[in-house]
Amino acid sequence: MASLPFTVSGLQTSSTGGRSSPTLLCTPLMGTTVDQMLIEMQKAKEIGSDVVEIRLDCLRNFNPRPDLEFLVKQSPLPTLVTYRPVWEGGQYEGDETKRQDALRLAMELGADYIDVELEVAPDFNSSIYGKKPENFKVIVSSHNFHNTPSAEAIGNLVARIQATGADIVKIATTALDITDCARIFQIMVHSQVPTIGIVMGERGLISRLLSPKFGGYLTYGALEAGAISAPGQPTAKDLLDLYNFRFIRPDTKVYGIIGKPVGHSKSPLLFNAAFKSVGLNAVYVHFLVDDVKKFFDTYSTIDWAGCSCTIPHKEAALRCMNEIDPIAKKIGAINNIVRRPDGTLTAFNTDYIGAISAIEDGLRGLNGTHPAVGSPLAGKLFVVLGAGGAGKSLAYGAAQKGARVVVANRTFERAKELADKVGGQAMTLAEVDNFHPEEGMVLANTTSVGMKPKIDEAPISKQSLKHYCLVFDAIYTPKETRLLREARETGAVIVYGTEMLIRQGFEQYKNFTGLPAPEDLFRQLMEKHA
């Protein structure tokens, strides 16, 4: 199953079958006491959730009638009652009849929804036949903690769930690859009954974020990062504030950052705030991608409008493009991909623009106001650590500005390959400490040495930093790396990785939207969150 038929028109016509109202945001309550759950309910309401899921299996001493009566009546939001058994990934290990009795009681006491597992749903649903209150709905759920089956198998599963008399179908699978989400999207779009489709795990995150695009009945958002009820669940606050969940519709364009790892990326924060500030119908998400080609083959319609590309895909993604900007082609790495209206993919490299302009401004500050003629990098000895995608960007960008480039890499062959392309010199990282043919050199680190969690490491010794007038570090988690701290202590001008991030972001935004980037907004957000 290569390219899926995701067309906007198809989505809109089918979403009238599956749902007429926007996707609900449900927050699971994981408190171990009734009082804790009451506090959590209030919090969920304050955050902006629509429904709370009362997870009875989390309660330590559950006393069905008084506890349910209290929780259902006191809840400031509609309630979904779940009593998940161990055999379906929950915590309840007791008697099955008692468990189902509690769910029937929840219905009688005014719960809005209950969630019952497919395995017991036929018997359970026949036991309440004719007794259901008017607006009460039964969610019949199936959880697969191993993988995401084929589209055909999921279709059969939906039919089985429907056959039990479910009001709402819930399917949760596990993502082994981000493309697994496509099969769940397909089911949600074409389902004639209200459907909750979730792909668990970090690779399944987009199934949760994009639920409103594909007509999902409901999606789950945790109260806080530590209180998730299933793997890969985002917080309700992030869904609403970071991903603009309420603004996502069937025709919303999807952008994102592809990488591995990718969860640390601040890009969604910048782009979603920018989109919202100008009212663009677009969302920007984290794409944890293992296989770039498979990703582009699967998500191939114009609704998947473009992406930023980070480690380790900046080179592999090149092979999936229809068109490559000439400078990006020379660098041999891309970080910005735009889908044209005809569906083709065009790639750019905005890293080198972001980093080089930040370094130039740093040098200008050092030399007093430099005449606007030429680049302050012209003639400088420019040492790049690392020969990967970002290393190539900086080496090529600096050479283009007239700098004399030295490339240092863990393996000499890779350093030499890049140095030859830019007419520079090559060495291993181990040799950099003793390399100082002149004073006032410029250093650019593009290795991951010093990145979280190993923040006490630095790629070169403090002693050797005194030969540099400016030091740039592409790492931005943490903002202040050990390398930058030590460079400042030796008197060099420092340029943060966040500066490259912001400036290359300006360029990407321009490529994505055709509009100038809201630079002040980007800067305020980076200042606040980085």
Q: In sequence order, what are the residues at sequence separation of 6 or more whose Cβ sits closer than 8 angstroms to the Cβ of residue 235?
A: 221, 222, 223, 224, 225
Whether the per-residue pLDDT at 11 is higher than 60: the answer is no
Phi, psi of 472 (to 5 degrees): -115, 140
- What band does 246 get if pLDDT is binned at 50, 70 and 90? very high
Give the pLDDT confidence score for residue 129 in this predicted structure: 95
For a pLDDT cut of 70, what percent of the chain falls above it? 95
What is the spatial distance between Cα 486 and Cα 433, in angstroms, rounded to a whole number? 14
The residues facing 101 across adjacent strands are none
- What band does 19 get if pLDDT is binned at 50, 70 and 90? very low
What is the spatial distance between Cα 501 and Cα 496, in angstroms, rounded to a whole number? 9
Q: Would you please indicate which residues are annotated as catalytic (active-site) residues?
A: 143, 170, 314, 351
Give Rg (Cα) of the chain.
Answer: 27
**In the 3-class helix/strand/coil scheme, how is 158-203 assigned residue by residue?**
HHHHHHCCCCEEEEEEECCCCCHHHHHHHHHHHCCCCEEEEEECHH
Give the pLDDT confidence score for residue 18 in this predicted structure: 38
Whether the per-residue pLDDT at 9 is higher than 80: the answer is no
- Of 22-36, 97-111, 327-341, the least confident: 327-341
Give the pLDDT confidence score for residue 369 in this predicted structure: 61
Element holding 105 (H helix, E strand):
helix 96-108
Per-residue pLDDT tens over the stretch 395-409: 999 999 999 999 999
- Return the number of other C-beta atoms located less than 10 Å from residue 341's C-beta: 7
Angle subtended at Cα 334 by Cα 286 and Cα 202, rounded to the nearest 5 degrees: 20
Per-residue pLDDT tens over the stretch 190-242: 999 999 999 999 999 999 999 999 999 999 999 998 888 888 999 999 999 99
Whether the per-residue pLDDT at 486 is higher than 80: the answer is yes
Whether the per-residue pLDDT at 12 is higher than 50: the answer is no
Higher pLDDT, 8 or 26: 26
What is the spatial distance between Cα 527 and Cα 517, in angstroms, rounded to a whole number? 17
Q: Give Cα separations from 314 to 7, 93, 100, 263, 318 (angstroms).
A: 28, 48, 52, 17, 7
Q: Could you tell me where the DSSP H helices lie in 426-518?
A: 429-432, 482-489, 497-513
Per-residue pLDDT tens over the stretch 154-198: 999 999 999 999 999 999 999 999 999 999 999 999 999 999 999
What is the Cβ-side half-sphere exposure of residue 294, based on CA atoms within 13 angstroms?
Answer: 13
Give the pLDDT confidence score for residue 115 in this predicted structure: 98
Give the pLDDT confidence score for residue 228 in this predicted structure: 84
What is the spatial distance between Cα 462 and Cα 482, in angstroms, rounded to a whole number? 9
- What band does 372 get if pLDDT is binned at 50, 70 and 90? low
Give the pLDDT confidence score for residue 315 in this predicted structure: 84
- The answer to whether residues 189 and 197 touch, using CB atoms and an 8 Å cutoff, is no
Give the pLDDT confidence score for residue 351 in this predicted structure: 86
Whether the per-residue pLDDT at 69 is higher than 50: the answer is yes
Task: Characterize the bridge pairing of strands 345-348 and 381-385.
Answer: unpaired
What is the spatial distance between Cα 17 and Cα 240, in angstroms, rounded to a whole number? 26
Assigned token pair, 184: 């769940």
- State mean pLDDT over 328-338: 90
Mean pLDDT of the chain: 93
